[in-house]
Amino acid sequence: MTNQQMTIETIEKEIYTNEEEWELATFGMGCFWGPDARFGSMAGIMRTRVGFAGGTTPTPSYRMMGDHTETLQIEYDPQVISYATILKEFWRNHYPNRDNYKGRQYISLLHYHTDQQKQTIETIRKEMEAELGESIETEVALFSQFTLAEERHQKYYLKRYPKALDQLETLYPNKDMLVDSIFAARLNGFVKGFGTKDSLRKEINQWSIGETEKTFLTSLFLSLKW
């Protein structure tokens, strides 16, 4: 495959061979731009997307959110990262008590997708209350619905670098393709300050893609103009 023939879909399809084994996690922890970058930088997090959940307002949007909460939804590989690890990262990186918020836009929110996730939330919550030294008031509920936010909010920090986006145009001919890309998630985390060049190069080298594709992604990453 030549560089001209490569798109992110052709490259990443080999990474997603065990996609049926991935699990979903959905949570809100303030403005969704930061969590998208933070979790998008972590090994085992395969996809990230931001949107709205937790309310009753139909078809919410950023300008007309109603009673929904800014939310991050991730797909993760439980063979690489556990739900417990995700929860600890979640609670250690925002203030999970209601007196810190007005309205519902930025509340601390966890939506579990399985009974096992619910049990893990209860266990880790007790551990984190002991670690943080205070009670946790995160709203916990069974997942029901998630509405994807507008394109401009997906991989927000990466999109603040138009020169880099121009260089990525061949790989991502449509900006919507950034949403479900693990490479875009890692780049979005990198420009926000999560991870290093060496750590991302190392991870790319561990991905289950061909050597040509690894070389292409690594060279592209190192050439990006931030």
Choosing from 6, 15, 24, 31, which is the catalytic residue?
31
What are the backbone angles phi and psi of residue 188, rounded to the nearest 5°?
Answer: -60, -40
CA 50 to chain centre: 7
- The DSSP symbol for 82 reads -
Helices and strands, number each (H, E), in the chain: 8, 6
| Total number of residues shown for the chain | 226
Active site includes 31?
yes
Q: Which long-range contacts (CB under 8 A, 24 or more apart) does 67-70 make?
A: 67/104, 68/104, 68/105, 68/147, 69/28, 69/104, 69/105, 69/106, 69/107, 69/109, 70/28, 70/30, 70/31, 70/32, 70/105, 70/106, 70/149
> Which residues share a beta bridge with 109?
28, 139
Give the catalytic positions in this structure. 31
